[in-house]
Structure formats: structure tokens, C-alpha cells
Amino acid sequence: MTLHQAKNDYPPKNYLNRELGLLAFNRRVLAQAQDDRVPLLERLRFLCIVSSNLDEFFEVRVAGLKEQIKAHSPVITTDGLTAHDTFRRVCEEAHVLISEQYRALNDVVLPLLAAQDIRFLRRSKWTDAQREWIREYFFREMVPVLTPVGLDPSHPFPRVLNKSLNFAVELEGRDAFGRSSNAAIVQAPRVLPRVTQVPREIAGCEHGFVFMSSIIHEFVGELFAGMTVLGCYQFRVTRNSNLFVDEEERTNLRTKLQGELPQRHFGDAVRLEVAESCSESMVEFLLDQFGLRRDDLYRVNGPVNLVRLMAVPDWVDRPDLKFPPFTPGLPKAVGKGANIFQSIRRGDILLHHPFQSFAPVIELLNQASTDPAVVAIKMTVYRTGTDSVLMQSLIRAAQNGKEVTVVVELMARFDEEANIEWATRLEQVGAHVVYGVVGYKVHAKALLIVRREEGQLKRYAHLGTGNYHPRTARLYSDFGLMTANDQITQDVNEVFKQLTGLGKAGALEHVWMAPFTLQPNIVAAIAKEAESAKAGKKAMIVAKMNSLLEPETIDALYLASQAGVQIELMIRGVCGLRPGVPGLSENIKVHSIIGRFLEHHRTFYFFDGGKESVYLSSADWMFRNFFRRIELAFPILDPKLKKRVIVEGLKFYLADNQQSWDMNGDGVYQRRRSPRAKPHSAQSELMLTLGGG
């Protein structure tokens, strides 16, 4: 049960569909692979990113639609579509998108790579030397771990792991036991690489690769001695990866999750990908085995799992075909060897990742773990990685006798296993580990350090828009604030008290917190701008986030637009609001930036009568963030830092005419083109402005 119930009195015509918006976002990612201004190996990487995104889309969003359809759910989404209507439209759009993706791979990217002496060797064109080397590789590296399964009454169709590579083989003849079977399945173990590098002297080019699917297709007959192979077809099934844990009835969430996680690999099938050449009889057989229909079938002209090509750019030493190397900058206040607590006491420190290094955050926790003056550390963990130096510092702090409290979100999708492991290790060294609040994910990014100084306790805090994850901090654009401001740190302390204890929510001086004050305060701030506009005063809202879907907030933006407020929204992913509609939203513009780094920070600006209120947040403007999660939005109080956020986080992006897309009222995006204007790329300019050279 949440603290807020969604309203259902908004006209459906005012809203756009979430699932279709996600597919539109992936079209913009695909456009990066189709853009000849993007370095060639990065274009291949963007093709892989599209596949990775679509995998999660089917595992979560499409799986959810199928659950609703199966349950005959009467629920109609904000935009007025039923689950069945949405599913039908998603299927149409997804099939077109995936076809375009493989055309980009086969007709553009692979030929261009070949022209650069980077080739994926086709079976039909193998030389004798290549075939012999690959044959030897097959017997040496693959045969020992392959287990062909003939399908007969003694060998039923095997359990197929989620997103695993498999081969359906059509056979003719009898085996050594006299058995006759017309089909077999060969499952490709995940320990085997999906792409293999071929030595230069054998490949006949600087960088030669061969797909595992090509190797299996060529030599699959060796696995069925004496029988005739009539056909061999790669296939891959995507399964529902939602975890079904009843948080209301749980007694130990960690134990429940540990029992549930292995079943994620065998959830209900939601998509079947097969080779374009797959026979109709085999397609029908596979669809029947997985309980799928024709709408769920995706024939592809190439590997069924492009995600596994992600490593290829790293293997190829061609800097001229990649983004130029970039070294994040380091603010002077936290230079090498600085006492970070002294630096923070001198004034708030703003970090803008990945343009500025995440190292100060690591150093803050590292110094805290060994500093004799530090008495307590409290931290939230949502995603942090399996080899996190931050978690190692927390463990070291606990071993050094600090009072360490960690709020671990066990339900962070696809990171549950890593978080369970860290929770266990932290408990083993005496840290206090809590799992937040029943029914609410802890998505806030907060770190609080308590230090004894001159006989008194002094608090230091780090608040961020992104995860405590050093790797993604090099890839995602996020803001982080280090502060010793007494009012802010008091608010953060109150937040941790609510997360770990019981009792009524205490009032916060500056920080907005979901599920209590975040959404009401945002709606109130929007309404305040509307009142200013009605009074003939200057009014403006600029907001940047990943998704905008919550209907009450959208409705407030519509009313503000109608009052004359100028509204600029930068929404990387899904936007349920229709911009530029006469009489509804003519003063609202929606943009989307897709570039080298993943835009991730949430920044909210309100003109506020000239005071220019600026908040950074972990939360998108979505129902789940506002009412089903613990989220924080924190103000930037220092005037210099506030100006930095406005310039770096908003103005640079509004001026972007290289990587920006403009959305119309129907949810259609057009790439912004300004041929006569000076080129502006927000990410490039931030790299130049903040980078370490």
C-alpha cells in the first residue's frame, strides 16, 4: 500500500504511451549507430546498446503487458490504451526497429569495418586455412563443453536459460542405438565467447573475427555422427525477469530473494529470436515449446545476441575509430593529498561526472574509514558493482570500530545478487545493514559521515543524482554535492533516522523527500510559477531528467503553460507529456540529448521570483519515484555552485544543436539541425571545460 493513490480523471488524449516512448528512445540510440559523425567502432557499440536496452524492455515492460493480458486486466493506462492495445502497437514498432537495427549492422557498419581491415569472417568465404584453424578451435575449445540433446521420449525439450544462445538442429537418420529423431538442441554454454578472434596471419586482415554461430553451423554435423543435418538455426528466448516477492508478507527479504533469483532465468517466455533462415516447421515447433505466438517471433539477419559484440571495440586497437580518450578533471578544492574534510568545511563542493572525477567521493569514504576522528558512517546503496572500492571502505571502517550503517536496496533490478553479497559481507564485520522500508525501494543517493571535532560532533554529507558506482560514474552524467552545511546534514540525518527506525516523518528544512514531500513540493513550485505568470511577472521552469510520466505533475505543467510560463524540458527517455499543443502546452518544449555519455542527472530549475531555486535529485517525475520509492531532491544553496548547475546542467544542453532531438505533440522526435548556427555539443563542451586535459 502506498501513501498516494493515482488519480484517473485526466483526459487520455493529453498523454503519450510509456512503452512506445521507450521504443522511441531506442530509435534515437540507434540513430547514433547510423550517424557517420560517430566513430565507427562506437557505432558498433551503439548497436549493442540498443540490443541490451531491448532485452530489458522485453524482460520487464513487455513481460508486464503479457501478465496483464493473461489476467484479463481491465486497467487502462493514462493514455487510454489497454494492455492488449499497447502490446499490439509495441509488437509493430519493435519489429520495425529491430529490422532497421540489423540493416544498419549488415549494410553499413560491417562493410565500413571491413574497409578498415576489421572483418567478421563469413562461412561462405572461409579460405582453406581459415576453415582448418576454426575446425581445430571447434574441437579444442568447444566440443568438450557442448552437450547436444536429441529430442525423443527419453530426452524432452531442455530448459532454456533466459537470453542464452541455442541451436535447433533438424536431423535425418538413426544413431548408434537405432534411435530416429528429427530434431536436437545444442545449447551454447555461457563460458564460450560468442565472437572469437582469429590470428592475423590466418584471418588475412589486421583484425579478424568469427561468430560462434558460424562455427556451430559449419561443424554441427560432428556432434551427430552418422546422421544427416538438414538444418541448423540459432535461437534465443527472452523471459519475464520480474521477481515475484510479496514484500507485505515477507519475514526475511534476503532469504526470499536468494530463493527467487535462480528462477529468473526460467520465467515465462516473452520473445523468441531466430535466424532469418529458420525453417517454418522449426519456427512452429519452437513457438509451441515456449508457449508463444507469431507476434512474439523476431527473425534476425545476423547473431541473435548483438550484446555480445560489445567487447569487440575494446579488442581492436584503433583509436582513430573510437571516441578520443578523456580524462576527468579534478576540482582544486579536492586535489591530490588534500584533507577532504578540511576542503568541505571551507565550502560546498560540486562534482559534475563524468566530466569531473568520481575519485573525491571514493577518497571521502576512504579517509573516513581510517580517520580516528570519524565515529559513524551512514550510506545508501542501490547499485555499486561487484568489486566496489566504496564497499571495501565501508568494510574497513567497520573493522576499524566505526559505527557503520548501510541501507542496502535488495530489490535493485538485476543487481540483487551483488547487493545480497555486499550485505552479507558488511554484516560479517559488524556493520548495521537494513533493507529500507517495506513496500518502498530506497533509490536515494546519500552518504553521511559524523566526525568529532574540538569536542563536538560535526556532520558531513554527500548527496548525488547517480549511484555510488565508480564505473558508471565514468559513463553517466551526474551531479554530486559534498557539504558540511548544518541544515542540509541535519536533513540527511533525519532521512537515515526514518530509514532505519520507526516513527512519524520529521520535518526537513531544505531536502524534499519521496514519498512525503517531493511530488507535492514540485507541483507547488510549478503552480507558483503559474501564479507569477498570471500576475504578469517573469516565470520559467527548466527541468532535466530521464522520464516524465506522473499525470498530476504533467497536468500542473499544462496549467503553467496555459498561464504563460515558459517551460523547457530535457527528457532523455520517456515523456508522457505532449508539448506544443495549442491551448494545452504551447509554451512547453521537450528535448532529448543522446550522446557519448548517458544523460542521467535530474536537475530542476524554478525562476521563483528571481531567486532561481535549483534542485538536484535522484528522482524522475514518475509515479514510482514519487510514491513507491525513497527519493531525495536537494537544493544548491551556494550562489557560485548554483550558477554552475544552471550553466553546466541546463544552459549547455539547451544550446546543443549536435546531439539534441526535439519532440512534437505526437511523440515524434526530429534531430535538431541548425546549419547556419555555431555548432554546440553540450557533452563536448563540458569535456573541454571540466576535463583534466
How is residue 598 written as a grid cell? 548517458
Residue 204 sits at the vertex; the CA angle it makes with 198 and 206, to the nearest 5 degrees, is 70
Interatomic CA distance for residues 570 and 303, integer angstroms: 35
SS3 of residue 109 by DSSP: helix
Strand segments (E) across 600-691: 602-606, 613-617, 629-635, 660-663, 669-671
As a whole number of angstroms, the distance between CA 664 and CA 538 comes to 25
User: Rounded to whole angstroms, how far apart are CA atoms 170 and 691?
Assistant: 56
With beta carbons less than 8 A apart as the criterion, state whether 274 and 298 touch. Answer: yes
Q: Give yes or no for a contact between 548 and 12, defined as CB atoms under 8 angstroms apart.
A: no
CA–CA separation, 327 and 693 (whole Å): 6
What are residue 592's DSSP bridge partners? Answer: 661
Instruction: Say whether 440 counts as a known binding-site residue.
Output: no
Backbone φ, ψ for residue 330 (5° rounding): -130, 120
Query: What is the residue whose three cell numbers read 529468473?
Result: 264
443, 462, 601, 680: the active-site residue: 443
Phi, psi of 571 (to 5 degrees): -115, 110
Pairing of strands 374-381, 403-408: parallel
Cell of 596: 557519448
Q: With contact defined as beta carbons under 8 Å apart, do 169 and 286 qualify? A: no
Check: CB of residue 8 under 8 Å from CB of residue 551.
Answer: no
Flag whether 250 is marked binding.
no
* Run of H or E including 158: none
Paired with 275 in beta bridges are 300
Check whether 572 is labelled as a binding-site residue. Answer: yes
Show the cell assigned to 371. 580517520
443 carries an active-site annotation:
yes
Q: How far apart are CA 301 and CA 28, in angstroms?
A: 21
CB 229 within 8 A of CB 252: no
Residue 590: strand, helix, or coil: strand
Interatomic CA distance for residues 271 and 263, integer angstroms: 17
Q: Does 469 count as an annotated binding residue?
A: no
Say how many C-beta atoms besides its own lie within 10 A of residue 540's C-beta.
18
Q: Is 123 annotated as a binding residue?
A: no
Q: Is 53 annotated as a binding residue?
A: yes
583 torsion bin: left (phi>0), alpha (psi -120 to 50), beta (else): left
Q: What is the 3-state secondary structure (H, E, C) of 284-298?
A: HHHHHHHCCCHHHEE
Quickly count: other Cβ atoms within 10 Å of residue 458's Cβ. Answer: 17
Q: Which residues participate in the annotated binding site for Mg(2+)?
A: 383, 413
Q: Which residues participate in the annotated binding site?
A: 53, 383, 413, 476, 572, 600
Q: Which residues participate in the annotated binding site for ATP?
A: 53, 476, 572, 600
Give the residue numbers annotated as catalytic, written as ranges: 443
